[in-house]
Amino acid sequence: MSKRTNAQNPEKFTGIELRAIPKSAVGFKAISSALKHVKDEVGIAKGIGLLKNLNQTYGFDCPGCAWPDPDEKRAFLAEYCENGAKAIAEEATKNKVSPLFFATYSVENLAKLSDYEIGKKGRITHPVYLPEGASHYKEISWKDAFELIGKELNDLNNPNEAIFYTSGRTSNEAAYLYQLFVRQFGTNNLPDCSNMCHEASGVALTETLGIGKGSVTLEDFNHTDLVVVIGQNPGTNHPRMLSALRDAKKKGSKIITINPLPEIGLMNYKDPQNPLKWIGSGQNLTDIFLQVKINGDVALLKIILKLMVAKEEEDTGAVFDYTFIKEKTKGVEELLDDLDTYSIAYLLPQTGLNLAEIQEAANLIISSKKIIFCWAMGLTQHKNSIDNIREIVNILLLKGSIGKKGAGTCPVRGHSNVQGDRTMGICEKMPDNFLDKIDAEFDFKSPRKHGYDVVNAIKAMYQKKAKVFFGMGGNFISATPDTEYTATALRNCKLTVHVSTKLNRSHLVHGKTALILPCLGRSEKDTQFSGEQFITVENSMGVVHSSKGHLNPCSEDLLSEPAIVASLANATLKNTKVPWNKLVRNYDFIRSKIEATIPGFKDYNNKVRDPKGFYLPNNARASKFDSTPTGKANFTINEVSDLKIKEHQFIMMTVRTHDQYNTTIYGLNDRYRGVLNERRVIFMNENDMEKKGIKKLDIVNLQSHFNGETREAKGFLAIPYSIPSQCTATYFPETNVLVPIQSTGKISNTPTSKTVIITIHKR
Ligand SMILES: Nc1nc2c(c(=O)[nH]1)N[C@H]1C(S)=C(S)[C@@H](COP(=O)(O)OP(=O)(O)OC[C@H]3O[C@@H](n4cnc5c(=O)[nH]c(N)nc54)[C@H](O)[C@@H]3O)O[C@H]1N2
Ligand SMILES: Nc1nc2c(c(=O)[nH]1)N[C@H]1C(S)=C(S)[C@@H](COP(=O)(O)OP(=O)(O)OC[C@H]3O[C@@H](n4cnc5c(=O)[nH]c(N)nc54)[C@H](O)[C@@H]3O)O[C@H]1N2
Ligand SMILES: [Mo]
């Protein structure tokens, strides 16, 4: 019986080695590390073939991050990066998880492994089923699997008892069919990884600029005066962004970095295109580094705003773009009045910085006409995340630095099609005009009641209000907060189903019965009735383009995600007028339906055959703001963080190592931070360690504290690091157990994975 399998990574050390922090990012080490992963996972000959097709105009889209490809020239080496190569090596791995594998290993035994060990087991080759009370998954036919799910869904008292999660790798075509199926089934319970990711960006940008997406294109980096990279670690998570930053610098732009950690990719960088330049240390990308305290960003941005106002008062017109403010915006007076209520003396301690360094950064902002702000999880996973982002918009609006070349917003997305999935309607609360179009096209009435987002889905399962969990990709148990609470939630379900490429912990922390449905990966050929198909995705800058796999599928028993949705719909829906089988015969048919129902996709099938793809309309890029509630771009009034920690407490942020893709752990190294072969570490300020009598590599237990509740994660090695006092960093997902389910962002409801209040206890 596998009733209470491990939901957390085992408390087990792997043999840490500490190294000096490298002097630069990328360079030869990156190429050799990438090739090593490719060689180990897929073999060298197949590996080179794979890399050749990655992000090339007729190849497949990197399943790594959502950073865009250049519209024009693409170089062999430039268009994949170390971590992109790891991502595809992971998918194209030689290792297989077959029915024999499942017959050999019980669920209980597999759950004792770490996420790293589980992931290395490889690709799932057949659909498998775990009956109630069974200890091992066993093979099931696709037909029986769909019938079983259809029956469970139809047995529910109400469609809202089912939850349909999506991770962000799902293609536009699969996502569109999936949301259509779910809405025809009768619910809007479509939580997605965005709820844990850039939700706050979407909320804040829609309110202020009328579009939940960023406004810049890659080309803008060639025309900007200043790039501010705040709360983001592109050297690890979006390595190809470093090339854009390098290009910006070459054209004379400056870079400000705002981060509690001096992330090596931003500080020092070696150009992968220029091996001759690898001798010696790299180029310093960052001109000004502000080592802000965790969650001190609103206070910092407010000081910058106050310094801008002070300069403008001294020298009218030197800072603000009055024409833009007058014609395009609303609320500037209220903003200026509100800024007056704060004193710099009050704000400064919250930043951990000194005024002189902030003044230096403010001077760059003051003197720049075209500014791009880039950000990611360092801003979006806090209680006041929407304030972080709205404060950035305030700065850009005062400068008139949006909707023109070289300027604007750049929320850097995570998953390679997370933005496209939202465009396709994967969201628990799509606006009525989207639903009206779907209803008219397919002749049904989709539900209007909003569904559950990720956190509310977990609570609903915990409270037994939801009974079936269906995951389209992803690794729900390891990606979500409050691991033990979420494990109870999943175990409460009658049925949990995962459409997956690789084995992960979510297959092992399951409902009373469970299914794994194995699907094709991005790099694989997708053959349907009309022949080989391609799929389409939307990158972080709103470019929709095609992606076509070149490898033979790792097993003959895989289905594509669109085919899985169509079969599921056939097995579940009684009165559907959607021609599910026809849509899957040729994905052009799906794209025609997308064209008919979603704005911006006119002539989709034609346009997407241009290898460069096409840009979706973007009102902020076009400097049109009439879609906001006020019909103008809105200044907003934002509150500084109310985070209060006691003297003996610390703030913990959970971050990614250089060797992982979210919950997929490629390896145990975090080369850029000088930590090898260990993930159970906590980075601490050296003085804090001394005060607490903690020495380098002492073992500590961590406790988080929220609303009087305590959670614990045991066994971490303390590492002295350059980080502000009372701030600490650990790796996700090992410390997700400490992130309280109730601790979420205002409006965004995103778990506050970057602000966890902890105490540290020496063992
Ligand atoms: N190789 C690889 N690529 C990836 C991923 C991956 O796991 N591996 N994940 C993908 C996904 S889904 C996403 S969302 C992105 C994530 O990309 P990132 O957001 O870069 O990822 P994190 O590791 O969460 O890093 C957050 C950064 O914010 C900083 N930070 C934390 N708190 C604060 C704060 O309060 N203020 C400021 N100013 N900075 C702060 C941290 O020090 C860290 O540098 O990457 C995507 N790309
Ligand atoms: N503490 C903490 N928690 C976090 C974060 C954090 O910074 N700190 N970050 C959050 C963020 S930004 C995100 S986006 C989420 C990520 O949450 P998820 O998207 O749920 O997690 P991933 O680890 O990306 O999912 C990996 C799994 O996806 C499956 N997979 C891979 N490719 C495919 C495919 O092509 N099709 C299908 N069907 N399956 C596939 C594989 O089986 C693999 O095991 O985690 C969030 N959780
Ligand atoms: Mo993400």
Residue 660 identity (one-letter amino acid): Q
132: burial class by Cβ within 10 Å (0-12, 13-18, 19+)? exposed
- Evaluate whether 79 touches 56 at the Cβ level (below 8 Å): yes
d(CA 738, CA 711): 6
Rg (CA), the chain: 25
State the first-to-last Cα distance of the chain, in angstroms, to the nearest integer.
34
Q: For the segment 745-763, what is each residue's pLDDT rounded down to a tens digit? A: 999 999 999 999 999 999 9
- Which ligand 1 atom is the nearest neighbour of the CA of 83? 1
- Which ligand 2 atom is the nearest neighbour of the CA of 664? 23
- 89 occurs within a structural domain: no
Q: Of 60-74, 223-237, 388-402, 554-568, which range is least confident?
A: 60-74
- 3-state class percentages of the chain: helix first, strand second, coil last, to nearest 5: 40, 20, 45
Which tokens belong to 325?
């403010």
Q: Of 54-63, 216-225, 453-462, which range is least confident?
A: 54-63
CA of 474 to the centre of ligand 2 (A): 4
d(CA 516, CA 129): 7
Residue that is written with structure tokens 């001109």 in the block: 287
CA of 657 to the centre of ligand 1 (A): 9
- If pLDDT is split at 50, 70 and 90, which confidence band does 1 have? very low
- 323 occurs within a structural domain: yes
Q: Whose CA is nearest to atom 12 of ligand 2?
A: 197
Same domain as 405, residue 274: yes
Q: Of 44-58, 412-426, 585-599, 630-644, which range is least confident?
A: 44-58
Q: Which residues pair with 480 in a beta bridge?
A: none
What pLDDT does residue 276 have? 47
What pLDDT does residue 281 have? 56
Same domain as 356, residue 208: yes
CA of 552 to the centre of ligand 3 (A): 29
Q: For the segment 397-424, what is each residue's pLDDT rounded down to a tens digit? A: 999 999 999 999 999 999 999 999 999 9
- Which ligand 2 atom is the nearest neighbour of the CA of 198? 12
232, 263, 351: which to mutate for ligand 1, most atoms within 8 A of CB? 232
Identify the nearest ligand to the CA of 300 by its number: 1
- Which ligand 2 atom is the nearest neighbour of the CA of 501? 42
What pLDDT does residue 87 have? 82
What pLDDT does residue 47 have? 73
d(CA 17, CA 591): 51
d(CA 539, CA 535): 13
Residue 710 domain boundaries: 650-762
Specify the CATH number for the domain of residue 609: 3.40.50.740
What pLDDT does residue 274 have? 53
- Which ligand 2 atom is the nearest neighbour of the CA of 415? 14
- Which ligand 1 atom is the nearest neighbour of the CA of 86? 1
Same domain as 464, residue 387: no
Specify the CATH number for the domain of residue 404: 3.40.228.10
Which tokens belong to 268?
């020092």
Q: Of 12-26, 66-80, 440-454, which range is least confident?
A: 66-80
- 473 occurs within a structural domain: yes
Over residues 669-677, the mean pLDDT reads 95
Same domain as 591, residue 572: yes
Q: Whose CA is nearest to atom 11 of ligand 2?
A: 197
d(CA 533, CA 526): 5
d(CA 330, CA 336): 12
CA of 131 to the centre of ligand 1 (A): 38
Residue that is written with structure tokens 């009658």 in the block: 494
CA of 479 to the centre of ligand 2 (A): 6
CA of 663 to the centre of ligand 2 (A): 6
- 670 occurs within a structural domain: yes
Same domain as 156, residue 215: no
CA of 661 to the centre of ligand 3 (A): 10
pLDDT at 258 over 50: yes
pLDDT at 80 over 80: no
- 611 occurs within a structural domain: yes
Same domain as 711, residue 576: no
pLDDT at 623 over 70: yes
Same domain as 438, residue 347: no
- Which ligand 1 atom is the nearest neighbour of the CA of 382? 35
DSSP 81-115: -HHHHHHHHHHT-S-EE-HHHHHHS-HHHHHTS-H
Which tokens belong to 586?
């040729």
d(CA 155, CA 147): 12
Same domain as 589, residue 657: no
Beta strands in 501-606 (DSSP E): 513-518, 526-528, 531-533, 535-538, 543-547
Residue that is written with structure tokens 């850009």 in the block: 396
Beta strands in 480-621 (DSSP E): 495-500, 513-518, 526-528, 531-533, 535-538, 543-547, 614-615
Q: For the segment 267-297, what is each residue's pLDDT rounded down to a tens digit? A: 876 655 554 444 455 668 999 999 999 999 9
Which tokens belong to 447?
């539900």
Pocket (CB within 6 angstroms of ligand 2): 167-169, 193, 196-197, 377, 381, 414-415, 472-476, 479, 499-502, 504, 519, 521-522, 561, 654, 662-664, 732, 736, 739, 753
- 639 occurs within a structural domain: no
pLDDT at 77 over 70: no
Residue 585 vs residues 179, 529, 581: alpha-carbon distances, Å: 19, 5, 6
Taking Cα atoms as reference points, which of 239, 349, 347, 288 lies closest to residue 672? Answer: 239
CA of 465 to the centre of ligand 3 (A): 27
For the chain, the domain total comes to 3
Which residues have C-beta within 8 Å of that of residue 339, sequence separation ≥ 6?
A: 302, 305, 306, 309
Higher pLDDT: 198 or 75? It is 198
- Domain boundary (393, 411, 429) is at 411
- If pLDDT is split at 50, 70 and 90, which confidence band does 2 have? very low
Count of beta carbons in the 10 Å neighbourhood of residue 460: 22
Decide: helix, strand or coil at residue 235. Answer: helix
CA of 499 to the centre of ligand 3 (A): 19
CA of 378 to the centre of ligand 1 (A): 6
701: burial class by Cβ within 10 Å (0-12, 13-18, 19+)? middle
HSE on the CB side for 195, CA within 13 Å? 26
Q: Whose CA is nearest to atom 31 of ligand 1?
A: 378
d(CA 24, CA 265): 7
Q: Whose CA is nearest to atom 17 of ligand 2?
A: 479
Same domain as 572, residue 433: yes
Q: For the segment 678-691, what is each residue's pLDDT rounded down to a tens digit? A: 999 999 999 999 99
Q: For the segment 348-373, what is each residue's pLDDT rounded down to a tens digit? A: 999 999 999 999 999 999 999 999 99
Residue that is written with structure tokens 């912990």 in the block: 505
Phi-psi region of 43 (alpha: psi -120 to 50; beta: other; left: phi over 0): left
96, 498, 501, 508: which to mutate for ligand 2, most atoms within 8 A of CB? 501
Residue 237 vs residues 100, 607, 672: alpha-carbon distances, Å: 36, 30, 12
Query: pTM for this structure?
Result: 0.96
Same domain as 563, residue 440: yes
- Which ligand 2 atom is the nearest neighbour of the CA of 662? 23
Specify the CATH number for the domain of residue 669: 2.40.40.20
- Evaluate whether 736 touches 363 at the Cβ level (below 8 Å): no
Identify the nearest ligand to the CA of 82 by its number: 1
- 6 occurs within a structural domain: no
Angle between the N-to-C axes of helices 483-491 and 454-462, in degrees from 0 to 180, rounded to the nearest 10: 60
Taking Cα atoms as reference points, which of 61, 170, 219 lies closest to residue 608? Answer: 61
Identify the nearest ligand to the CA of 259 by its number: 1
257, 385, 480, 656: which to mutate for ligand 1, most atoms within 8 A of CB? 656
What pLDDT does residue 279 have? 45
- Domain boundary (411, 429, 463) is at 411
Same domain as 390, residue 336: yes
Same domain as 351, residue 310: yes
- Which ligand 1 atom is the nearest neighbour of the CA of 296? 35
Decide: helix, strand or coil at residue 185. Answer: helix
CA of 375 to the centre of ligand 1 (A): 9
Which residues have C-beta within 8 Å of that of residue 589, sequence separation ≥ 6?
A: 579, 582, 583
CA of 661 to the centre of ligand 2 (A): 8
Identify the nearest ligand to the CA of 415 by its number: 1
CA of 197 to the centre of ligand 1 (A): 10
- Which ligand 2 atom is the nearest neighbour of the CA of 418? 14
d(CA 505, CA 490): 12
Q: For the segment 727-745, what is each residue's pLDDT rounded down to a tens digit? A: 999 999 999 999 999 999 9
d(CA 704, CA 713): 9
Pocket (CB within 6 angstroms of ligand 1): 64-65, 83, 197, 230-233, 236-238, 258-261, 263, 292, 294-295, 297, 376-378, 414-415, 653, 655-656, 660-662, 754
- Domain boundary (354, 381, 411) is at 411
pLDDT at 211 over 50: yes
Q: Whose CA is nearest to atom 20 of ligand 2?
A: 474
- Evaluate whether 290 touches 358 at the Cβ level (below 8 Å): yes
Q: Which residues pair with 495 in a beta bridge?
A: 468, 513
Task: Check the CA dihedral 210-214-219-223 and report its sign.
Answer: positive
- Evaluate whether 478 touches 112 at the Cβ level (below 8 Å): no
- Evaluate whether 515 touches 145 at the Cβ level (below 8 Å): yes
d(CA 486, CA 480): 7
CA of 659 to the centre of ligand 2 (A): 14
Higher pLDDT: 91 or 583? It is 583
Pinpoint the alpha helices (H) of 279-368.
Answer: 297-314, 322-328, 332-340, 344-351, 355-367
Round the average pLDDT of the chain to a whole number and report it: 94
- 350 occurs within a structural domain: yes
Taking Cα atoms as reference points, which of 292, 388, 334, 350 lies closest to residue 752? Answer: 388
